Amino acid sequence: MLKQRLQQKLLQKLSPQQIQLMKLLQLPAVMLEQRVKQEIEENPALEEGSEEADDQERESDDIEFEDVDKDEDIDIDDNEDRQDNEFDISDYLGDDDIPYYKLTSRNTSADDERKDIPYVSGMSFQDFLFSQLGLRKLNDKEYLIASHIIGNIDDAGYLQRDVRALIDDLAFTHNVETDYKEVLSILRLIHEFDPPGVGARDLRECLLLQIERKSLNTEALENAKKLLEKNFKDLTKKHYDKIKKKHGLSDNELKQAIDEILKLNPKPGNSITETGKNVHYIVPDFIVNINNGELELTLNSRNAPELKINPTYADMLEGMAHVKDKTNSRQKEAMMFVKQKLDSAKMFIDAIKQRQNTLIVTMQAILDYQRDYFLSGDETLLKPMILKDIADIVKLDISTISRVANSKYVQTPFGTFLLKTFFSESLQKDSGEEVSTREVKKILQDCIDSEEKKKPLTDEELAEILRNKGYNIARRTVAKYREQLNISVARLRKELV
């Protein structure tokens, strides 16, 4: 049975201003710039520029009008005639009938230096392959099969589809009946294209295609080809003793063969596609400098755009307020539209200012907390720091600190770093001192960099070294840190010296 009753509830609900601030807070500098442009396009009451400059322009306009009033020589009737004649016939007359030679001047010499801006037009990897396909004598069916194969080659240069799958694709999409032998012969034709190794179905085939294109037939190349054909898995796992025993190779012969393999390109397509890729630059949100032993923090100017209310809309709203006819529905709608846009513009400007203040306060707290590191750049001086530590200092919520640290970069005298990399958990030494896990990772990285490459350090040996330095860490923890640093296991780090 349905019943009606009154009930009071206490709920937490974010206001539209808070939601907008949270969204703006997590944007980096470049994306904020795009967001501001989008808001200016959508809201005509918002425009770029400072309010101080706008006030100065208004003051100068008032002074000009005052000078006009004081001038007694102005003919008012003349002024009214100009207002009545709002257009001049000369404004509608163009220069279309004037010959072109009358508008040009021959004042340049053939010896003059021309400084034109060069435009780079790159060729894609697929276009490069198609240009080579056009140099081969193929019938229509063979050309269609080759075009379909090239279309399935990725930017790295590898064929992503199985040959039998290509046969089905050609039958369904192009109504071309073919067989395994014909498609494979066309694929081998593409294997002759540049760069060497293009069209390979796996890494082993890619490297073999490049070795077969080598003009020199040396013993090292023969051994390298033999290793790739018969012992590719053992080679990738660096089972060097097993390979030497199977083929009767000495250490020097095996090293020469591996050196030849290391000279090959595992991704031949990248040599072409890299030239056409856009370079991505990191725009720092914060800039930290050291001046006389003190840290100076500045906010990137892109994080502090100058915005103001469009004075035209403000004057429009003021004029509508003095209109006597308040019952006109169109007048009400126009007034509500202008008021809504002005409120939205003010809300956006306030959110931008609050965002700037939050960024500065949070970054300043991080600087004070990690002062020793930012003065020296030594990662071992980093203190354990979590989001809650900074949130307690600045008296903000942890989610707000997380939004500030996410995807923001800080430029220091020692490099540009992602802000969230300074946050790390703590680890207790034998002496009871708490250190950052990033400090342990730095020591682990230094140990691996200085290890003997012929006999790399195992995880157990690395754990023993850290224990001797006072860091009580288990072997599985060392393995976890090593994986976070993208470092392979000891067997895969082994090299023939």
Model pTM score: 0.57
95 burial class (0-12, 13-18, 19+ CB within 10 angstroms)? exposed
- Look up residue 378 and give its amino acid: D
Spell out the residues 6+ positions from residue 335 whose beta carbon is closer than 8 angstroms to its own: 317, 320, 321
E strands present in 150-293: 286-291
Domain spanning 426-493: CATH 3.30.1490.20: no
pLDDT of 362 reads: 93
Spell out the residues 6+ positions from residue 322 whose beta carbon is closer than 8 angstroms to its own: none
Spell out the residues 6+ positions from residue 85 whose beta carbon is closer than 8 angstroms to its own: none
pLDDT of 364 reads: 93
Quick one: tokens of 256? 């020469």
CA proximity to 95, closest of 104, 86, 87: 104
Cα four-point dihedral sign 330, 333, 339, 342: negative
Quick one: tokens of 381? 């001086």
Residue 413, preceding peptide bond in cis (omega within 30° of 0): no
pLDDT of 119 reads: 47
pLDDT of 108 reads: 53
pLDDT of 366 reads: 92
pLDDT of 72 reads: 46
pLDDT of 81 reads: 47
Residue 144 CB neighbour total at 10 angstroms: 16
Residue 48, SS3 per DSSP: strand
CA proximity to 300, closest of 9, 11, 30, 8: 30
Domain ranges of the chain: 286-422, 426-493
pLDDT of 302 reads: 76
CA 312 to CA 438: how far, in whole Å?
55
pLDDT along the chain (497 residues), means of 10: 80 76 83 87 82 56 50 47 43 45 51 50 77 88 91 88 89 88 91 90 90 83 87 85 85 86 86 56 87 88 80 76 66 81 87 90 92 86 87 90 88 89 77 75 87 85 87 86 86 75
pLDDT of 112 reads: 52
pLDDT of 360 reads: 92
Q: Which residue's structure tokens are 């063979």?
A: 142
